[in-house]
Amino acid sequence: MSDFSIYEVGPRDGLQSADTITSTYDKVTLIRKIAKAGIKNIEVGSMVNPDRVPNMADSDVVFLKVQDLAPEHNLGVLVPNRRGVERGKAVGVEKFNIFFSPSNFFNVNNFGKSLNTIFAEYCGALDGIRPENVRVYLSTAFGCPIIGEIPQEDMLKTMEWANTLGDTIVLSDTIGNANPSLIRKVMRLTDRKIDAKIALHLHHGFREGRMYDNLSAGFDCGITQFDSSIGGMGGCPFIPGSGGNLATEQLVRWGSKENLDCGVTIKDLEPLMKFVNTRIKV
């Protein structure tokens, strides 16, 4: 049995903000190579407004072309609202990723809605979908670009709400601010009324030493699933200094360094990394 698992976000988070549109063929090939490398959890796209995120306009088609990988692989899709959930359902999506922030300022500034409104909309949209099929991303879990550190009472309230919607809460380091002390501080809150599994989504991939420290802190706190993106693609381009995503190869190297098994080796990733380096423009 593996010590931790990878949740690969490259096909969505890695590509969504790219200047160059990636072809449907290359997206499908990328996802299949990720699966062939032994990674079982893959975010394959996002059901968002194609005018806002052109690189995700074909997510419906991409999902249909890789649907045969399920159920051996968990194929997730990011959905921002009820319309996104309905689009996903229409093509057979079963695993949904949703997102909001414990900072109401961030929600209003970035999503145009209050946390109360976002939560109520998701409650209705996800009616009938089992919590084990929902991952809840908490953006700005370790700090907000508007208000700074999230007050503990806001963080706990948002975690409790997330706990009612999904069985996995993903603590997202939106601004690249996470450090071992902050990770331990936030994780202590999960001992109170939170029974969902906790996953970690880290940025600032260019600081490898700090990244390893954060991974170790998360693992020591009981986190056993980590988001990553092959080649470190993606991140949060709208927040200067937040850095790219944790690279999948970094995550695997950390596991090897700590004698932890994730079922994937650097050798397994080599064909995938070669494809990304030669075919994917971000």
| Bridge partner list, 77 | 45, 96
Residue 250 identity (one-letter amino acid): Q
Residue 34, C-beta contacts closer than 8 angstroms, at least 6 positions apart: 8, 10, 11, 42, 230, 272
- Amino acid identity, position 256: S
pTM of the predicted model, to two decimals? Answer: 0.96
* Residues marked as catalytic: 236
| CATH numbers and ranges of domains, the chain | 5-279 (3.20.20.70)
Question: pLDDT tens-digit profile of 51-83?
Answer: 999 999 999 999 999 999 999 999 999 999 999
Q: Can you give the pLDDT at residue 17?
A: 85
Per-residue pLDDT tens digits for 186-195: 999 998 789 9
Instruction: Identify any residues that bridge with 197 across adjacent strands, giving them in sequence order.
Output: 168
- Those residues of the chain that have pLDDT short of 50 are none
